Amino acid sequence: MRIAVVGTSGSGKTTLARQISERLELPFIELDAINWQPGWRALNADDPVELRKRVDQATQGVSWVVDGNYGSALGTLIPSKASHLVWLDYDHAVVMARVIRRSFDRAFKGTELWPGTGNRERWQSWLHASHPIRWAWSTWARRRTQYEAMISGPSLSHLQVIRLRHPREADLVLDRLRYSATSSVSPS
């Protein structure tokens, strides 16, 4: 299985993708960890060709779980390779509550977000337009429209799309994916 977990900032992509990875024993690929370099240098802005190369290499395996978007830099690279797409399409209020809670936690603890980068959430970054809280607020509606268009297009008709409308559906998707994984294994 090759599973892409998508949704707007703060929707819970990384958390759910890690859970799927652990339960199905699939390699986990975090796009933010590939994109964000030391000093908050973003490959998607500074070197999108390098980002695409690294993500393409990371997704060469026969099975994986990827979380993240980066549609402008990666296009349909990941969805075209994926067998399943899990879309966290939660209400705006749910996403905002999650991203605010996560940002407070990260800023308060000061933990490094991606090992070796030195990148930490800082209170003063909350004023920037690119901060996850502001980003989630301004991109929520646009992301919904983009994903609806993407999954209805013929180039991705091979995908098994699982659209979650509420966080309580996450346990169900884990069971559904586990069933799909075991039923696709042919007996010897």
Average pLDDT in the 109-118 region?
A: 94
The set of residues, in sequence order, having a beta carbon less than 8 Å from that of 143 and lying 6+ positions away, is 7, 8, 69
pLDDT at position 155 over 90 = no
Is 29 within the bounds of a domain? yes
Query: Looking at the domain assignment, is residue 111 inside a domain?
Result: no
pLDDT at 43 over 60: yes
- Entry pTM: 0.91
Per-residue b or e along 15-30, where b marks 16 or more CB atoms closer than 10 Å to that residue's CB: bbbebbbeebebebbb
Instruction: Specify if 164 maps to a domain.
Output: yes
Domain boundaries, position 179 = 2-91+142-183
Higher pLDDT, 180 or 111: 111
Residue 151, pLDDT score: 85
Q: Would you say 136 and 91 are in contact if contact means Cβ atoms under 8 Å apart?
A: no
pLDDT at 172: 87
Tokens encoding 72: 């402008």
| Domain presence at residue 134 | no
Section 11-32 average pLDDT: 95
- The answer to whether 6 and 146 are in contact (CB under 8 A) is no
Residue 46 in domain: yes
For residue 176, tell me if it sits in a domain.
yes
Task: Count each helix (H run) and each strand (E run) in the chain, helices first.
Answer: 9, 7
Q: Which two tokens stand for residue 18?
A: 């890690």
Residue 53: is its pLDDT beyond 50?
Answer: yes
Mean pLDDT of the chain: 91
* E strand or H helix that includes residue 100: helix 92-109
Q: Quick one: pLDDT band at residue 185, thresholds 50, 70, 90?
A: low
Residue 16 belongs to domain with CATH number: 3.40.50.300
Q: How many folded domains does the chain comprise?
A: 1
> Measuring CA to CA, how many Å separate 39 from each of 35, 77, 148, 177?
12, 26, 34, 37
The most confident of the ranges 19-33, 118-132, 162-176 is: 19-33
Asked, for residue 115, whether it belongs to a domain, the answer is no
Give percent of the chain above pLDDT 90. 72
Contact between 120 and 113 (Cβ < 8 Å) = yes
Residue that has been written with the tokens 């800023």 in this structure: 107
